[in-house]
Amino acid sequence: MRAKRGPIFSISTAAGLISLLVAIPAARFHRSDRASAAPPGPGPSGWQIMSPITYQNLAIFPVISAATADTSGFVTLDEALASAEVQVSEQGNFLGRTRDGRAGFSTAPQVNQLVLVNRGTRPVLLLAGEVVSGGKQDRIIGRDRIVPVGRAPLPLEVFCVEHGRWTGASDQFSGTNLMVHPSVREEAAIEQDQKEVWAAVRGESRSVGSPAGLSTAGAAPRISTEALVDAMAAAGTQSYQKIYRSSPIGASVESVADEVRRRFERATSDLKGEYLVGVVVAFGDEVVWSDIFASSELFNAYWPKLLLSYVVEAMTRPGVRPTASLEDARDFLRPITGHVQEESEPGVYLWRKQSVGRLSEIELAALAPKPLTLHDLRVLRGDERGFVVR
């Protein structure tokens, strides 16, 4: 079943996005809200889609390209945190200043803001939905962006994914090699709403499953809302990583992920002259998600935690056998023309979002050393009545 694309709609940048709360020293941001234009760097014309790898209600279509970009000049957040090139802290460790000398951001810890310092030699790539653990509460990155080298401490937009704790022995954060599942990631990356992020963590997202009283054409989800609530209670602090790594839910997620990983590796092991750069994902009969990167190296770095996130999502949805076709996946990646919102840091990056009906696309492009689209995310959003439209 092809993703249905509705009429073009418009939303203002101020209403659709959470603005940066503070001025950032030595960096000027530019936002615009305008008609569609071509993004920088290579686009979808060079992508090809392979037949899907299927398991239970999950279908993953590998995306390959005849070329791969050199992305060695960038480092992922997990890599940078592990090597201590990057430090992520609660507010209070650093005091930013605006050009007129006033405090640039609060020195008290804030739920939706952390501070990031890049002390490494490469710009850091951040993707919405990446989990960082520590401080007063675990958080997820709120928006795709690039953090250049040598800048002042950066106020970083985040969302909370842990209830029941607002204390810690250290204000510092570490990487988890986890990405929240797509229903949660959608609320962070597209909707930018803390309330909706928490509803999605609890299994109440508008894009997951069907509400009581509506029939579904398959088995019940293997991770129900009740199971999520029980796992949170057992975890004590309702930590996302505890829920999906330490609880019985975590064991079942790992088991499914291992099987999908084996099938995926078999299907993509004999590529010759082609590079694996991303995936298109379907749950049951609907294609709803894609993550595509500029290089096979970037894809390989993110693949383990992306796969785990797709499996968690599949297990929260009714277990309808995959019927999405290769044609559906190709249709999902066709160029769209819609209302565009942009945020840019001159000479560093361009963040670009456009939406048509239920379909949204976010592109993150590096502007130096040359224009290059590092990550392309597409999402078929759930409708506002609380269930996926069939």
Reported as a single tens digit per residue, the pLDDT across 235-270 is 444 466 666 666 677 778 889 999 999 999 999 999
- Per residue in 103-136, pLDDT (tens digit) is 444 455 566 778 999 999 999 999 999 999 887 7
Task: Of 297, 260, 301, 304, give the one whose Cα is nearest residue 282.
Answer: 260
**Burial class of residue 195, CB neighbours in 10 A (0-12, 13-18, 19+):** exposed
Q: Report the pLDDT value the prediction gives residue 362, as an integer from 0 to 100.
A: 96
For 30-66, the DSSP string reads EEEEES--PPSS--GGGEEEPPPEEETTEEEEEEEES
pLDDT score of 205 more than 60: no
* pLDDT at residue 171, as a whole number: 74
- The C-alpha atoms of residue 25 and residue 12 are separated, in whole angstroms, by 26
Residue 241 to residue 116: CA distance in whole angstroms = 21
Question: What pLDDT band is residue 21 in, cutting at 50, 70 and 90?
Answer: very low
Q: How many beta carbons lie within 10 A of that of residue 177, not counting itself?
A: 16
pLDDT band per the 50, 70, 90 thresholds, residue 26: very low
Q: What is the pLDDT of residue 240?
A: 65
Distances (CA, A) of 382 to 7, 131, 200, 207, 359: 16, 23, 12, 4, 9
pLDDT value at 229 more than 90: no
Let me know: does 129 contact 180? Beta carbons within 8 Å: yes
Interstrand relation of 124-126 and 75-76 (parallel, antiparallel or unpaired): parallel
Does residue 186 contact residue 140 with C-beta atoms inside 8 Å? Answer: no
The residue extents of the domains of the chain are 13-206+218-380
Of the given ranges (60-64, 192-196, 213-217), which has the lowest mean pLDDT? 213-217
Across 74-92, average pLDDT: 92
What pLDDT was estimated at residue 20?
30
pLDDT attached to residue 383 = 54
The CA-CA-CA angle for residues 340, 344, 345, to 5°, reads 180
Mean pLDDT of 198-215: 50
**Which of 14-18, 66-70, 87-91 reaches the highest mean pLDDT?**
66-70
Could you give the dihedral angle defined by the CA atoms of residues 179, 183, 184 and 189, in that order, rounded to the nearest 10 degrees? 90
Q: Average the pLDDT over 273-296 and give the result.
A: 96
Q: Average pLDDT for residues 78-93, to the nearest whole number?
A: 89
Q: What per-residue confidence (pLDDT) applies to 372?
A: 96
- DSSP secondary structure string for all residues of 105-150: S-SS-BTTEEEEEE-SSSPEEE-TTEEEEESSS-EEE-S-EEE-TT
- pLDDT recorded at residue 17: 29
Q: What is the mean pLDDT of the chain?
A: 77
Q: Is 362:143 a contact under the CB 8 Å cutoff?
A: no
Q: Which residues pair with 314 in a beta bridge?
A: none
Instruction: Write down the pLDDT at residue 244.
Output: 67
